[in-house]
Structure 1
Amino acid sequence: MFEVQKLSQIKIPLDWPNIGSLEKEYVLKALDSGFVSTAGPLVKEFEDEFAAFLGCRNAVSVVNGTCGLHLALRLLNIGPGDEVIVPSLTFIASINPIAYAGATPVVVDVSADTWTIDPLQIEKAITSKTRAIIPVHLYGNPSDMAAIIDIARRHNLYIIEDATESLGATYQGEYTGNLGDIGVFSFNGNKLITTGGGGMLVTANDELAKKARLLVNQGRQAGQREYIHMEIGYNYRLTNIQAALGLAQMKRLPEFLITKRANTEIYMEMLDGVPGISWQQELPGAKSSWWFFSIIVDEGFKENKQFLISRLTSKGIQVRLFFKPLNQQPCYVKYNFMNCPVAEDLYNRGINLPSASFLTTDDVHEVCRELLKR
């Protein structure tokens, strides 16, 4: 069994947030202003700065990425009787909003090299009830969006990008989240930038953005003094304190991305050519944000995956298992999803390695030395 390490035992962390003096300064300013909840001015400022970074028309903040995906389905009027295709190898938050909406999830396998949704499997899964595809840019690595966009156009389907792990990743020069009808990001504590919780929905469609702002605010127009609710909405709003933290993190995002890629290149250099170890591949024209650098180990490498995990954790190196495939999740057994052999194999052999944005070159070297120790 995988044992969770105590914080005091961790020397090199997997994914802790990178918080410094700038974040403290911004949060204290928000506290001093008296605006701590959902009506503060920093929320719009954060949305505007996020949209400017991505180069998108509209960014609407939400309380977390899961709510963002749920909101996206609601905006596209997807519900009972509709099917939505999602990859098997992803966190369960990619599929739960489909169930919230009353739609039917359809789980398909991933590609063995990118670990993202396999376009060939999408084609096989499409029926007359299919309304949308949710490609997940797993661990920051862009999905094959050219193929997915082609499929969506031919079958008149929506694309909701689950970009919760891929802030800063690009595909053919465009940031992920901008490639579908709607994109959704997460600012959970382990993501590239954090607001503690929080998320962002982005879209080029002004009408969808306008409706999103209504729905996140309990169906009430922002700034309206009377309590008149035009639709049944949700309390999905981000707080001013969270926005303050997000603004500070956005200022540091470029440095985070540089560090992530630099550390990934060290991992690749030190592990290159080692028999029994491989890692996620970027598609031509794609550039991962490398939220996580992860490896796949052959059964014969250092005996097995569990042996490696135990040895690394005993040295204070925090690692993590891959997400358990959706087709194997007990809470979705009633759907009788097809087997997804590629996702299942990746799960059985995969390890997430330390990837926090403050790790040093020495930290990465130490991880690799322990990994390769004879």
Structure 2
Amino acid sequence: MNKQWMQFTDEIKDMYKKDFVSLHEPTFNEKEIEYVTDCVKSGWVSSVGSYVTRFEEDLAEFVGVKRAVAVVNGTAALQVSLKVAGVEANDEVLMPSLTFIATANAVSYLGAIPHFVDVNLETLGIDPIKLKAYLESIGELRKGELFNKKTGRRIKTLVPMHTFGHPVAMDDLLAICEEFQLILVEDAAESLGSYYKEKHTGSFGKVSALSFNGNKIITTGGGGAILTNDDKLADYAKHVTTTAKIPHKWEYQHDEIGFNYRMPNINAALGCAQLEKLPAFIEQKRMLVNKYEALVDNLAGVKLFKEPDGCKSNYWLQTLILDNNNNRDDILTFLNNNGIMSRPIWKPLHMSDIFRNSPRSDLYITDILNKYVINIPSTPIKEV
């Protein structure tokens, strides 16, 4: 590997003041210790407690939705979002193949079927032009619902995912949902703090899902949230994630098969502290992208992916796009061997044995990006 890449690794180490730089670490200080300690001292550490309520209320206010329901992880949040939106067994759910496997797993948990569509180079998310043409080709509206003419199954939902925190073209996707009678459920797992035309991601869907895994822009250790502007759906989400238990002072009665998915109070305490710091984290990440832009200028055939026009991204993971003169695996090997943790984009789901029989559109851009995308260290730092 040439001197340019060695200089790149040395400058990243200097920036982080470390000999080994991980991809994305959580950032904690006294505030997290204060809130978690208070939670432990209160004795209310499980799924009931003041921090859960506070976290849900603060989160809903930050995103700009009426309700947030905190749960154990982002996958659970998406599964329940799909369930309360009306997805049933044997329905098809449109989603990018270029996403983490949790998106497809959440669909599969409901007995529904992932249906993969292509992305574009502008957002790394679903391509609305290709999607519209594809649905015109394979879709058929019957009594206000869309059916796949090839499989005979109902296509119920569209699940856009904001890749690495970069918002997709929501106006175009909402128009497609209206035209083809689809319900929009956002996978906003990576995009807390990102805005499409000054409106927060996760506030466009009928229901949406966030993740607070340890590598996200803020973390609750493990956790997620369901977002919606529909009080009835929020109440149902809270009910079904609390084992569908009918409220009573002492009796245990359940009115359907539910899930034990509620976020523990101790995790919510951590989340409250993290949420207070989110604006600073975003600003630090935007400073980081400017620094990386200068470093990448010294690398031949490499482009730093920048937020789409009209959007403000949280830049959750900094992303390099290589040209065909660069070998992705050679670069990954070099970076990781030299103390810079880096990774390729997720293996597209249509390439997985698990989902090889799932319906799909042409995935030309997805296949290209699979060969040329690298994520590099993205932990927010105060000074770059």
What's the TM-score once normalised by structure 2's chain length?
A: 0.87
Q: Could you tell me which amino acid in structure 1 is paired with residue 303 of structure 2?
A: S
Distance 2:359 2:191 in 1: 30
In the other structure, the counterpart of 1:329 is 352
What RMSD over aligned residues (CA atoms) do the two structures have, in Å? 1.7
Distance 1:239 1:222 in 2: 18
C-alpha distance 73-125 of structure 1, shift in aligned 2 (>3 A) = farther
In the other structure, the counterpart of 2:364 is 341
Structure 2 residue aligned with 1:195, among 220, 244, 253? Answer: 220
In the other structure, the counterpart of 1:297 is 322
Alignment of 1:69-108 (within 5 A): 69-108=78-117
Q: Could you tell me which amino acid in structure 1 is paired with residue 64 of structure 2?
A: G
- Larger mean Cα displacement after TM superposition, 26-35 or 350-359: 350-359
C-alpha distance 136-10 of structure 1, shift in aligned 2 (>3 A) = farther
- Larger mean Cα displacement after TM superposition, 337-346 or 35-44: 337-346
Query: SS at the partner of 2:284?
Result: helix
Cα deviations by residue, 1:282-307 (Å, 9 ceiling, x for unpaired): 33211111000111112323xx2222
In the other structure, the counterpart of 2:289 is 264
How far does residue 10 in structure 1 lie from its aligned partner after superposition?
Answer: 6.0
How far does residue 263 in structure 1 lie from its aligned partner after superposition?
Answer: 0.2
Alignment of 1:111-260 (within 5 A): 111-126=120-135, 127=139, 128=147, 129-221=154-246, 224-260=249-285
In the other structure, the counterpart of 1:6 is none
Q: Could you tell me which amino acid in structure 2 is paired with residue 279 of structure 1?
A: L
Q: Could you tell me which amino acid in structure 1 is paired with residue 207 of structure 2?
A: I
- Larger mean Cα displacement after TM superposition, 83-92 or 125-134: 125-134
What's the TM-score once normalised by structure 1's chain length?
A: 0.90
How far does residue 262 in structure 1 lie from its aligned partner after superposition?
Answer: 0.7
Distance 2:249 2:76 in 1: 23
Query: SS at the partner of 2:192?
Result: coil
C-alpha distance 28-85 of structure 1, shift in aligned 2 (>3 A) = same
C-alpha distance 62-297 of structure 1, shift in aligned 2 (>3 A) = same
Cα deviations by residue, 1:159-184 (Å, 9 ceiling, x for unpaired): 11100000000001111000111111
Q: Could you tell me which amino acid in structure 1 is paired with residue 65 of structure 2?
A: C
Q: Percent identity?
A: 37
Distance 2:355 2:292 in 1: 36
Cα deviations by residue, 1:283-340 (Å, 9 ceiling, x for unpaired): 3211111000111112323xx2222222222321111111111111111112264451
Q: Could you tell me which amino acid in structure 2 is paired with residue 319 of structure 1?
A: S
Q: Could you tell me which amino acid in structure 1 is paired with residue 98 of structure 2?
A: L
Distance 2:249 2:341 in 1: 48
**Unpaired stretches in structure 2, ≥5 consecutive residues:** 1-17, 140-146, 148-153
Q: Could you tell me which amino acid in structure 1 is paired with residue 173 of structure 2?
A: I
Cα deviations by residue, 1:53-104 (Å, 9 ceiling, x for unpaired): 1121000011111011110111022112321100011101111111111112
Query: SS at the partner of 2:261?
Result: coil
How far does residue 24 in structure 1 lie from its aligned partner after superposition?
Answer: 1.3
How far does residue 122 in structure 1 lie from its aligned partner after superposition?
Answer: 2.1
State whether residues 167 and 289 of structure 1, in contact with CA within 8 Å, keep that contact through their aligned partners in structure 2.
yes
How far does residue 212 in structure 1 lie from its aligned partner after superposition?
Answer: 0.6
How far does residue 228 in structure 1 lie from its aligned partner after superposition?
Answer: 1.8
Query: SS at the partner of 1:255?
Result: helix
C-alpha distance 263-151 of structure 1, shift in aligned 2 (>3 A) = same
Q: Could you tell me which amino acid in structure 1 is paired with residue 338 of structure 2?
A: K
Cα deviations by residue, 1:184-205 (Å, 9 ceiling, x for unpaired): 1000000000011000100001
C-alpha distance 223-250 of structure 1, shift in aligned 2 (>3 A) = farther
1:351 and 2:374 matched:
yes
Q: Could you tell me which amino acid in structure 2 is paired with residue 312 of structure 1?
A: L
Distance 1:145 1:222 in 2: 38
Q: Could you tell me which amino acid in structure 1 is paired with residue 68 of structure 2?
A: A
State whether residues 301 and 323 of structure 2, in contact with CA within 8 Å, keep that contact through their aligned partners in structure 1.
yes
How far does residue 359 in structure 1 lie from its aligned partner after superposition?
Answer: 6.8
Q: Could you tell me which amino acid in structure 1 is paired with residue 230 of structure 2?
A: N
In the other structure, the counterpart of 1:17 is 26
In the other structure, the counterpart of 2:331 is 308
- Larger mean Cα displacement after TM superposition, 266-275 or 245-254: 266-275
Distance 1:339 1:136 in 2: 18
In the other structure, the counterpart of 2:151 is none
